[in-house]
Structure 1
Amino acid sequence: MRVILALLLMAGMARAGSDRPGDFDYYVMALSWSPSWCALEGDARGAAQCDPRRGHGFVLHGLWPQHETGWPAWCDSDARAPSRSEIRAMVPIMGSAGLVRYQWEKHGRCSGLAAGAYFDAARRAWTRVRRPAALRQPDRPARLAPAEVERAFLAANPGWTADMVTITCKNGHIQEARICLTKDLAPRPCGADVVRDCRARAARMPPVR
């Protein structure tokens, strides 16, 4: 019973606030370390994103509308789905058409923007963030402290502070760098439920293939 209550409370926190399109406080831009995702999930699926010819390092997982506590998801919106050309334009930085569609349905509709405008915002956010040069094309496996990855992002992006970026882990791997942005895509401090970093002392960071 306690486990069920805890899960219900967590679900409530996740959806705290409104699920009306456009009603949110800021964005979280999630940059996924593609080699980790491939090692944990993508290879088993035969995902095209994991083809060595793609050479993916960090990819754009998504641009997520966020409340100061919790986040909206699967908002009821009559905005049209993205066109094939809009989806194709995002694949080089997101890795797959399936992810582009999923992110639109789960998060993009909550932005209150048309699909083209939402993905334009995502591209602009992506291009404004300098991904650390040392982490762009590593050619050998590494074990890094999440704090090292965070410091690399801070060094590459002068003016950022530690509460603007969060490094997450999954199953012993560096998973994502999550950067908090205003609705105008300027860096801002993350909410208390986003700012918590991975607590592992070190985590695997597979090389770009």
Structure 2
Amino acid sequence: MFDFRLQSFSRLVISLTLVSLTLAAGLTSLAGGAKAQDKRQNAPGEFDYYVLSLSWSPSFCEEVAERGRSGGRSNIQCEGRPYSFVVHGLWPQYESGFPEYCQRPSPRLSRNIVSSMLDLMPAPGLIFNEWDKHGTCSGLDGRNYFETIRKARAAIKIPAEYLDLSETKTVAPGDVEEAFIKANPGLSNGAVSVTCNRTRLSEVRICLSKDLQFRACEELERRSCRRDQVTMPPIRGG
């Protein structure tokens, strides 16, 4: 009888220990998740730097065609003038992670602002989405945010070999980065990155300080293209 009670007590101690360890692991996981989230999360104007994302429009349009999608963005961007690199967005970033949708509902954009940006961001839907998701986190009003996008884009020189691409080009992502570095004095490997989809170059992303100076950022490299080579479809009509 004594042995039976001792065994039962031992089982109870083991069960309680396992429960305690499980609870401790859960609390540790929650603490880790909270630590990973920036304490300024989604506070407008509270961020560390920008990422300027330049989308290779021919890749986007080929993807649209493959998916059989239609709509505002694809009609304007893919059936109009021959775009090369277009602005996808200017994104406020933390050193780790990023804010998004910092004002709900977001302040309304005027038609004049949207119309003024179509040369760089050739789709009203894209402009509205970028304002809602990223612009509201900049701490700027609509006009000043899109003026900042224009200034950021003007600060970047597109390498000559990508201005009038008339045939499909196979490239190494690192070579594209080097071409941008060569064309933009002060730009370093730590401040530029290429992204890709399954086979094509998608975007070139460049890190900029709040005053639009080149700056290194570790987060960019973590999201970069890992393929040895990708293609750049030619500019439509090129």
The answer to whether the superposition gives a TM-score over 0.5 is yes
Asked if structure 2 preserves the Cα contact closer than 8 Å seen for 1:25 and 1:67, the reply is: yes
- Name the aligned partner's letter for residue 57 of structure 2: S
Q: Which residue of 1 aligns with 2:197?
A: 170
- Name the aligned partner's letter for residue 69 of structure 2: R
- Name the aligned partner's letter for residue 166 of structure 2: D
Shift of 1:42: 5.8
The answer to whether residue 219 in structure 2 is matched with residue 193 in structure 1 is yes
Q: Which residue of 2 aligns with 1:22?
A: 45
Cα distance in 2, alignment partners of residues 167 and 13 from structure 1: 29
Of 168, 177, 187, the match for 1:150: 177
* Aligned-pair Cα RMSD in Å: 2.0
Of 44, 50, 64, the match for 2:91: 64
- The structure number with the bigger radius of gyration is 2
Q: Which residue of 2 aligns with 1:127?
A: 154
- Name the aligned partner's letter for residue 49 of structure 1: Q
Asked if structure 1 preserves the Cα contact closer than 8 Å seen for 2:191 and 2:220, the reply is: no
Shift of 1:199: 1.2
Unpaired runs of at least 5, structure 1: 1-10
Higher helix share: 2
Q: TM-score, normalised by structure 2?
A: 0.78
- Name the aligned partner's letter for residue 35 of structure 1: P
Moved more, 66-75 or 42-51: 42-51
The answer to whether residue 63 in structure 2 is matched with residue 40 in structure 1 is yes
Asked if structure 2 preserves the Cα contact closer than 8 Å seen for 1:42 and 1:50, the reply is: no
The answer to whether residue 97 in structure 2 is matched with residue 80 in structure 1 is no
Cα distance change, pair 111–77 in 1 and its aligned pair in 2 (3 A) = farther
Q: How many residues align?
A: 198
Cα distance in 2, alignment partners of residues 15 and 160 from structure 1: 29
Cα distance in 2, alignment partners of residues 13 and 207 from structure 1: 45
Identity of matched residues, %: 41
Q: Secondary structure at the match of 1:35?
A: helix
Cα distance change, pair 71–36 in 1 and its aligned pair in 2 (3 A) = same
The answer to whether residue 206 in structure 2 is matched with residue 206 in structure 1 is no
Asked if structure 2 preserves the Cα contact closer than 8 Å seen for 1:33 and 1:57, the reply is: yes
Unpaired runs of at least 5, structure 2: 1-32
Q: Which residue of 1 aligns with 2:15?
A: none
Asked if structure 2 preserves the Cα contact closer than 8 Å seen for 1:21 and 1:77, the reply is: no
Q: Which residue of 2 aligns with 1:179?
A: 206
- Name the aligned partner's letter for residue 193 of structure 1: E
Asked if structure 2 preserves the Cα contact closer than 8 Å seen for 1:169 and 1:176, the reply is: yes
Asked if structure 1 preserves the Cα contact closer than 8 Å seen for 2:158 and 2:180, the reply is: yes
Cα distance in 2, alignment partners of residues 36 and 14 from structure 1: 33
Asked if structure 2 preserves the Cα contact closer than 8 Å seen for 1:130 and 1:157, the reply is: yes
Q: Deviations over 1:93-115 (max 9, x none)?
A: 11111100000000000001000
Cα distance in 2, alignment partners of residues 68 and 20 from structure 1: 15
- Name the aligned partner's letter for residue 161 of structure 2: A
Cα distance in 2, alignment partners of residues 138 and 159 from structure 1: 26
The answer to whether residue 131 in structure 2 is matched with residue 104 in structure 1 is yes
Shift of 1:12: 7.9
Cα distance in 1, alignment partners of residues 120 and 138 from structure 2: 20
Moved more, 73-82 or 125-134: 73-82
